[in-house]
Amino acid sequence: MKNNLEYKELIIGFIDYTSLNPMDNQNTIKSKCQELINIKNIKDYSNNFVASFCTFSEYGNIVSKELKNTNIKTAVVAGYFPLGQAHLELKIKEVEYACNNADEIDYVFSIGKFLNNEYDFIDNELNVIRNICKDRTLKIIIETGELKTEDNIIKACKLCIKNNVDFIKTSTGKTPISATIEAVQTIALEIKKHYLKTNKPIGIKVSGGITNISQAIEFVKIVENTLGEKWISPQLFRIGTSRLNQILNII
């Protein structure tokens, strides 16, 4: 069993450091990229630093340029974040644009249509987006706080799994209820069922409301206990947060 210090050292490598604010602009994004580079250099996190920097698709090209000499991935949100409320053709155009500038796409599926039992639409939506992303890491945001029930979360997970997504992500972080212990446990169990049947792993991203190291460790332990040591790596587990300083006290 790892102690909390060991978990803390691991967690920095799982973080998708996030800036998704209405005040963001080219200068603020450049500044945050430089801030990450400075921390990486000063603290010598050469082998274990944040997995990605996640921002709006508009700034993907800036992040890619600013972080090109690091191993930090460029991640962008797409699908008309955070609501997912747009015609699918418009969402597709944003994803196509995003794929030109980012390594990873965090996509908001059509939550309203899902809650209206339009499962065939969601199935097609995910299939189309998966085909567009191809060699990009695709994280589907299912907004567990709005799905509310365990049954809905399970149905959403099954649709994601069917369409070969790379990660199932809990939340946008823009709703009253974001990541919860219960939601993460439910997602992890569905991923486990799939893995036991197919031997194909799918990642899990916990996002929204994670403001301290204790919360982060709790989510890591749930994933580790449910899915095993294999998932304790940035290839299969991420934590989305804009509170890097509060979680790790490094800024």
Residue 169 is a catalytic residue:
yes
CB of 248 within 8 A of CB of 12?
A: yes
* Cβ neighbours for 161, distance < 8 A, ≥ 6 positions apart: 168, 190, 191, 194, 202
CB of 187 within 8 A of CB of 222?
A: no
> 32, 73, 91, 205: which one is catalytic?
205
Residue 91 is a catalytic residue:
no
Residue 134 is a catalytic residue:
no
The closest of 172, 177, 178 to 56, measured between CA atoms, is 172
For 194, other C-beta atoms within 10 Å of its C-beta total: 18
E strands present in 69-116: 73-78, 104-108
Q: CA triplet 133, 135, 137: central angle to 5 degrees? A: 70
Distance CA 37, CA 91 (A): 32
> 106, 139, 155, 166: which one is catalytic?
106
For 229, other C-beta atoms within 10 Å of its C-beta total: 7
Q: CA triplet 168, 174, 175: central angle to 5 degrees? A: 90
| Catalytic residue numbers, as ranges | 106, 169, 205
